[in-house]
């Protein structure tokens, strides 16, 4: 039985040799101040043709990248583009994954490592590695625990503020959804429920499912914003910050500048200030900066779960007692000892949901 999530690297072999900067097009949005904008400001409202790795019949975007962003393996003597490296991805999304570039399917190469629970008497595939025989190393267990947080497709571009009027999300970059500016900065992205934005050196910002909590929206006039403490970025709109309105294919009804979306999560640790366009060592995004067309993000590492359920089965033996659960300190009594209260923590899973 598969555990449902794999560690995967996704590379795309192009059928052509594109020049993303030379082929950049203006976003299909109304920009009232367009005539007064400088060439650099106008450049921030163009989209470079990007590779989209999609799932669900091309209706959802899982990863996006610029051609040549990172080198993948040689395919037929040509260097491919690595769009995602060692990412945790659901096996169902990998099964349906395709790659698109400018409305044309490209060759998608997937390298994956998928943990599987097997009956000891079942025959094992020659390429599989039996980690149960002789015991599992801590490194092998750590790899499995890492898969508890997995990449998930971007949200729905038909919702506010993108309001895309087309069908497939793969083409919603015309109104800024998962579109990449020249240089690779995402103009606007939005994660689905309970997911936040993640990044690493070889993978452009994508959505990571971490069971985050409620979302709040923040507004700014500049291209630099941070989420409050204890929360991570779940998306942004109009990163350059100059007000836009709806065009022929979608967009906000009213003039809209920069929006930042944040979701609270108790899993953040070891944070860093915005210095590069990716999270060093991986992590989730907590702040964004876009100054003079330079894109930088601040990130925090995620605390890893101490355990995880390997199956979706209901607990049948040793049922939880009334006192079982997670307890958090709530104060200090007169003796100086901490007092605790039972607290339900969804991101850590059961007991007693």
Q: pLDDT class for 313, splitting at 50, 70, 90?
A: low
State how far the Cα of 152 lies from the Cα of 227, in Å rounded to an integer.
Answer: 21
Q: Which long-range contacts (CB under 8 A, 24 or more apart) does 141-145 make?
A: 142/304, 143/7, 143/113, 143/115, 144/3, 144/115, 144/308, 145/304, 145/305, 145/307, 145/308
**319 inside domain:** no
| Residue 338: count of CB within 10 angstroms of its CB | 11
Per-residue pLDDT, 303: 85
Cβ neighbours for 191, distance < 8 A, ≥ 6 positions apart: 152, 154, 155, 197, 207, 208, 234, 235, 261
**C-alpha to C-alpha distance for 13 and 57, rounded to whole angstroms:** 20
Q: Read off the pLDDT band of 1 (50, 70, 90).
A: very low
Cβ contact 206:63 at 8 Å? yes
* Cα four-point dihedral sign 90, 302, 346, 117: positive
Tens digit of each residue's pLDDT (9 = 90 or more) over 100-139: 998 888 889 999 988 877 666 667 666 666 666 666 666 6
Q: pLDDT tier at 242 (50, 70, 90 boundaries)? A: very high
The yes-or-no verdict on residue 10 having pLDDT over 90 is yes
Question: What pLDDT does residue 327 have?
Answer: 86
By residue range, what is the domain housing residue 239? 5-110+149-302
Higher pLDDT: 250 or 146? It is: 250
- pLDDT of residue 315 exceeding 60, the answer is no
Percentage of the chain beyond pLDDT 70 is: 82
Max Cα distance, the chain (Å): 73
Beta carbons of 60 and 154 less than 8 angstroms apart: yes
pLDDT reported for residue 306: 59
Contact, 183 vs 278, CB < 8 A?
A: no
> What is the DSSP code string of 113-155?
E--B---TTS---TT---SSTT---HHHHHHHHHTTSEEE---
Q: Could you tell me if residue 119 is inside a domain?
A: no
Domain-located, residue 127: no
Asked whether the bond before 271 is cis by omega within 30 degrees of 0, the reply is no
In a domain, 250, yes or no: yes
Burial of residue 49 (CB within 10 Å: 0-12, 13-18, 19+) is buried
Q: Is residue 330 part of a domain?
A: no
Q: Is the pTM of this model over 0.75?
A: yes
Mean pLDDT, to the nearest integer, of 151-164?
95
Q: How many domains does the chain have?
A: 1
Per-residue pLDDT tens over the stretch 169-204: 888 999 999 999 988 899 999 999 999 999 998 899
Among all chains, which residue has been given the structure tokens 């990172």?
70
Q: What's the distance, Cα to Cα, between the start and end of the chain in Å?
A: 25
**Beta pairing partners, 11:** 82, 109
How far apart are alpha carbons 94 and 10 in whole angstroms?
9
Neighbours of 83 (CB within 10 A): 29
Q: What is the dihedral of CA 169, 170, 171, 174, to 10 degrees?
A: 90
14-28, 211-225, 233-247, 305-319: which is most confident:
233-247
Q: Is residue 26 part of a domain?
A: yes
Asked whether residue 122 is domain-assigned, the answer is no
Summary count for the chain: helices (H), strands (E): 3, 22
**Which pair of structure tokens corresponds to residue 228?**
């409050």
In a domain, 340, yes or no: no
pLDDT at res. 299: 95
The answer to whether residues 32 and 243 touch, using CB atoms and an 8 Å cutoff, is: yes
């Amino acid at each position: 039985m598969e555990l449902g999530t794999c560690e995967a690297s996704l590379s795309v072999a192009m059928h052509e040799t594109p020049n993303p900067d030379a082929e950049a097009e203006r976003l299909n949005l109304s920009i009232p101040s367009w005539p007064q904008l400088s060439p650099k400001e106008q450049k921030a409202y163009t989209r470079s043709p990007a590779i989209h790795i999609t799932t669900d019949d091309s209706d959802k975007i899982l990863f996006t990248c610029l051609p040549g962003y990172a080198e993948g393996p040689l395919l037929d003597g040509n260097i491919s583009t690595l769009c995602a490296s060692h990412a945790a991805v659901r096996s169902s999304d990998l099964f349906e994954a395709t790659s698109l570039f400018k409305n044309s399917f490209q060759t998608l190469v997937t390298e994956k490592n998928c943990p599987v629970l097997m009956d000891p008497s079942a025959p094992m595939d020659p390429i599989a590695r039996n980690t149960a025989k002789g015991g599992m190393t801590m490194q092998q267990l750590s790899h499995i625990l890492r898969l508890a947080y997995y990449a998930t497709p971007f949200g729905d571009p038909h919702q506010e503020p993108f309001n895309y009027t087309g069908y497939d999300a793969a083409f919603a970059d015309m109104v800024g959804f998962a579109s990449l500016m020249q240089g690779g900065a995402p103009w606007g992205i939005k994660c689905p429920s309970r997911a936040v934005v993640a990044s690493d050196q070889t993978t452009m910002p994508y959505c990571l499912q971490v069971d985050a909590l409620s979302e709040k929206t923040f507004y700014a006039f500049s291209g630099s914003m941070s989420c409050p403490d204890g929360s991570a970025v779940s998306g942004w709109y109009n990163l350059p910050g100059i007000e836009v309105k709806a065009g022929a294919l979608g967009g906000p009804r009213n003039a809209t500048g920069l929006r930042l979306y944040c979701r609270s999560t108790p899993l953040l640790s070891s944070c860093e200030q915005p210095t590069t366009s990716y999270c060093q060592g991986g992590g989730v995004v907590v702040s964004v900066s876009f100054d003079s067309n330079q894109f930088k993000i601040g990130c925090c590492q995620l605390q890893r779960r101490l355990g995880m359920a390997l199956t979706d089965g209901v607990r049948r033996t040793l049922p939880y007692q009334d006192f079982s659960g997670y307890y958090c300190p709530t104060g200090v009594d007169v003796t100086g000892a901490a007092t605790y209260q039972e607290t339900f923590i969804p991101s850590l899973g059961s007991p007693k949901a």
